[in-house]
Chain A
Amino acid sequence: MEGNVHKFGDNVDTDVIIPARYLNTSDPAELARHVMEDADPAFLQKVRLGDLIVAQKNFGCGSSREHAPLAIKAAGISAVIAHSFARIFYRNAINIGLPILESPEAAEKIAPGDRVRVDLAAGRIDNLTSGEQYQATPFTPFMQDLVEKGGLIPYVRWRLRSDAGNRKPDTENSDR
């Protein structure tokens, strides 16, 4: 995936990503029309298909509304890169298949408008404007598996198919 970068600061909360006044629907296309509107009213006009959001600490803090990653995805954003993500947003993004990458270095060094290419499987971020390259925290094997299966719902379907027993995801260590 490759696109231009829209940059945001610390603690971008889910109320700003998609304000509650639009939560009387869960239609992704309708939600996408208001994405980031309270942070930057012109955001949607600037976004081109495949663009990326780069933000600082604690992206997606606040409410558990899955409407937030859904709105971002439906607006055509291909990935979000941040210094760090709030816990529920992180889960939701993985569960619905919105690519997200944690990289303090990329968050700091990428400038607004830079052209960036992301290799999700390798966790590599190429800044085509500056020529720099950054590494993101790799997904744990379990999360990689979720992403490869297409999110949590396909994973659940696979679970139900593979056996009805008490299968556990393989116990593993991670920093996430």
Chain B
Amino acid sequence: MGLTIAEKILAQHAGLDSVRPGELVNVRVDMVLGNDITAPLAIHEFRKIGLDKVFDRDRIALVPDHFTPNKDIKSAEQCRELREFAREQQITYYFEIGRMGIEHVLLPEMGLALPGEIIIGADSHTCTYGALGALATGVGSTDMAAAMALGEAWFKVPETLKFIFQGKLHPWVSGKDLILYVIGKIGVDGALDRSMEFCGPVIEALSIDSRLAMCNMAIEAGAMCGMIAPDDIALAYVASRAKRPFAPVWPDEDAEYERTIVFDAAAIEPQVAFPHLPENTRGISEVGEVRLDQVVIGSCTNGRMEDLRLAAGLLRGKKVHRDVRLIIIPGSQQIYRQAMHEGLFDIFLEAEAVISTPTCGPCLGGHMGILADGERALATTNRNFVGRMGHPGSEVYLSNPAVAAASAVTGKISAPWEVL
């Protein structure tokens, strides 16, 4: 019997010929990731184990991205813990501000998430790297600590759901819309514990940035991971970046799926998720009148070059609505610089938007754009839970960057073509 891509990667890393869904396996991990919120806890737990050294200083990434540049004294203390641990253990991939990015933007960009690998991160959106054919999944701080000690993690082999996208993509529809559409169909626990495999002609034509945005939100359906089999586009992306040798893995022709769901992309319009769950999606034509106080373009979902270019294309020569604050957050230093070189900053500043240094910032209600009671934001981020961006009485709507940019101009949730 053939294996899905997740099964095959797990089997290889467990030293087995084959695995079946439901089986528990202990696997070797290629990379262990933590950030300024989750790594301090992991470091405390690591100390309890009593080892002096981490398993491999080249296979741990520490990224202070959530509350950085340090938003308050306690955050500064947490970042210091991270920094001191990185120095003590001589961690190769510690990314200080000025050289960093949002972790899930940064790792693919730096060639630290590669096809066929297993990557665990003490952050739920670690699943992003499935876009490059890595089995990547979020874990907690204690799992991170154990992996820093042993270089291993235990998993239950997931069932796999296969999503095939056929037909022709609407021009304003991106990976973000495809995943919002799927979550709207199957619900926030629709892929609980599962691997989601995305394929079909629409996915094959999708850019890497769009694929990363898509797999980023697999966790929003409850999944262990979101996977796209590596193709020429993915292999070309990693070729010049890879920091270590890797071996791509593809699903078998006769792999067994729990369920296969086929979507016609032509039927999918830009999506908006209403408060307070990512599954509350509507097509843009069914949104109605939703006035906004703030628009955020950024995050590990949509803070990449493609996203900023899309936004700039719509904002060129226009002004942000006078009742709206537009906050743009490039996902990494590299993207920040590239956007500046391409003249996107001029467009954003002309439009009277704010440009932030790379940070998670408002995405999780940290800093750089917290909402007051009753305020409403449209964001290109991935979660719209109660209080996610600030006051529990505020509201977050989710969309792609084109809808976000257009809406910043009109002051209400709008389709991109309304401002053309």
**Segment 322-372 of B: residues with Cβ below 8 Å from A:** 364-366
Chain A residues with CB under 8 Å of B40's CB are 26
Q: Indicate if the CB atoms of A157 and B50 lie closer than 8 Å.
A: yes
Of the candidates A24, A26, A160, the one whose C-beta lies within 8 Å of that of B49 is: A160
A15 touches B386 (CB 8 A): yes
A156 and B49 alpha carbons, distance in the complex (Å): 7
Asked whether A127 is an interface residue with its Cβ less than 8 Å from the other chain, the reply is: no
Given the known A-B contacts A11-B189, A15-B388, A26-B41, are A63 and B24 also in contact in the complex, defined by CB atoms under 8 Å?
Answer: no
Question: How far, in Å, is A147 (CB) from chain B's closest CB?
Answer: 13
B145 and A153 contacting across the interface, CB-CB below 8 Å: yes
Q: Are A64 and B49 in contact (CB under 8 A)?
A: no
**Cross-interface CB contact of B189 among A26, A86, A142, A156, cutoff 8 Å:** A86
Which single member of B41, B146, B149, B385 contacts A15 (CB below 8 Å)?
B385
When the two chains form their complex, are residues A62 and B25 in contact, meaning their CB atoms are under 8 A apart? no
Q: How far is the CB of B34 from chain A (nearest CB, A)?
A: 10
Select B24's contact among A67, A95, A171, beta carbons within 8 Å: A171
Q: How far is the CB of B99 from chain A (nearest CB, A)?
A: 23
Are A91 and B139 in contact, CB atoms less than 8 angstroms apart? yes
User: Closest residue of chain B to A175, judged by CB?
Assistant: B22
A:156-172 near B, CB below 8 Å: 156-157, 159-160, 166-172
Are A87 and B23 in contact, with the CB atoms below 8 A? no
Kindly provide the distance from the CB of B228 to the nearest chain A CB, expressed in whole angstroms: 20
Chain B residues touching A, range: 35 or more
Contacts of B41 in A (CB 8 A): 26, 66-67, 70
- Whether B26 and A176, one on each chain, are in contact in the complex, defined by CB atoms closer than 8 angstroms, is no
CA distance A20 to B23 in the complex (A): 34
* Residues of A contacting B122 in the complex (Cβ-Cβ under 8 angstroms): 64, 66
B281 at the interface (CB under 8 A from A): no
A residues 17-39 touching B (CB-CB < 8 Å): 19-21, 23-26, 38-39
Q: A64-B140, A166-B15 are in contact. Are A26 and B75 (CB under 8 A)?
A: no
B123's partner among A64, A159, A172 (CB-CB below 8 A) is A64
The reply to whether A66 and B38 form a contact with Cβ atoms under 8 Å apart is yes
Quick one: given A87-B193, A95-B140, are A20 and B364 in contact (CB under 8 Å)? yes
Most buried by B among A19, A21, A66, A67: A66
**A38 contacts B386, CB within 8 Å?**
yes
Contacting residues, chain B, for A86 (C-beta < 8 A): 189, 192, 222
B407 to chain A, nearest CB (A): 23
Contact status A65-B189, CB under 8 Å: no
- Closest B-chain residue to A86, C-beta based? B222
Please, which residues of chain A bring their CB within 8 A of the CB of B72? 24
B259: chain A residues at CB < 8 Å are none
Residues of chain A lying within 8 A (CB to CB) of residue B78: 24-26
Whether B222 pairs with A61 at a CB distance below 8 angstroms is yes
Query: In angstroms, how far is the closest chain A Cβ from the Cβ of B31?
Result: 16
B189 touches A169 (CB 8 A): no
Query: Which A residue's beta carbon lies closest to that of B41?
Result: A26
Residue of A nearest to B149 (CB): A156
Neighbouring A residues of B124 by C-beta, 8 Å: 62-64, 88
List B contacts of A173 (CB < 8 A). 20, 22-23
- B139 in contact with A171 (CB, 8 Å): no
Task: Note all chain B residues with C-beta closer than 8 A to A3.
Answer: none
**Bound: A19/B74 CA distance, A:** 16
Using known A-B contacts A15-B383, A15-B388, A156-B149, determine if residue A169 contacts B140 with beta carbons closer than 8 Å.
no
Q: Does B188 count as interface, using CB distance less than 8 angstroms?
A: yes
CA distance A61 to B40 in the complex (A): 22
**How far does the Cβ of B126 sit from chain A's closest Cβ, in whole Å?**
8
The yes or no answer to B181 lying at the interface (CB within 8 A) is no
How far apart are B404's CB and chain A's nearest CB, in angstroms? 21
- Which residues of chain B come closer than 8 Å to A171, judged between CB atoms? 23-25
Among A58, A156, A170: residue with most chain B CB under 10 A: A156
With a cutoff of 8 Å between Cβ atoms, the chain A residues found around residue B143 in the complex are 91-92, 95, 152
Q: Which residues of A contact B383 (CB under 8 A)?
A: 13, 15, 62-63
B387 contact set on A, CB distance < 8 A: 15-16, 19, 38
For B21-56 the 0/1 string (1 means CB < 8 A from A) is 011111000000000011011001100111100000
Say yes or no: is A7 at the interface (Cβ < 8 Å to chain B): no
Q: Roughly how many angstroms separate A77 CA and B385 CA in the complex, as a whole number? A: 23
Cβ-neighbour of A64 out of B14, B44, B139, B392 (below 8 A)? B139
Is the CB of A57 closer than 8 A to any CB of chain B? yes
Q: How far is the CA of A16 from the CA of B388 in the complex (A)?
A: 8
**Chain B residues with CB under 8 A of A156:** 49, 145-146, 149-150
Apart from A84-B192, A171-B24, what 18 extra A-B contacts exist at CB < 8 Å?
A11-B188, A15-B386, A19-B387, A23-B67, A24-B74, A24-B75, A38-B386, A38-B387, A64-B121, A87-B193, A142-B24, A151-B142, A152-B143, A153-B45, A157-B49, A157-B50, A172-B24, A173-B23
16 contacts between A and B (CB under 8 A): A15-B365, A23-B66, A26-B141, A58-B222, A61-B188, A64-B122, A64-B123, A65-B140, A66-B142, A88-B140, A92-B139, A92-B143, A160-B149, A169-B154, A174-B24, A176-B193
A-B residue pairs, 5 tightest by C-beta: A92-B140, A24-B74, A66-B140, A95-B142, A58-B189
> Residues of A with Cβ closer than 8 Å to B?
11, 13, 15-16, 19-21, 23-26, 38-39, 57-58, 61-67, 70, 84, 86-88, 91-92, 95-96, 140, 142, 151-153, 155-157, 159-160, 166-176
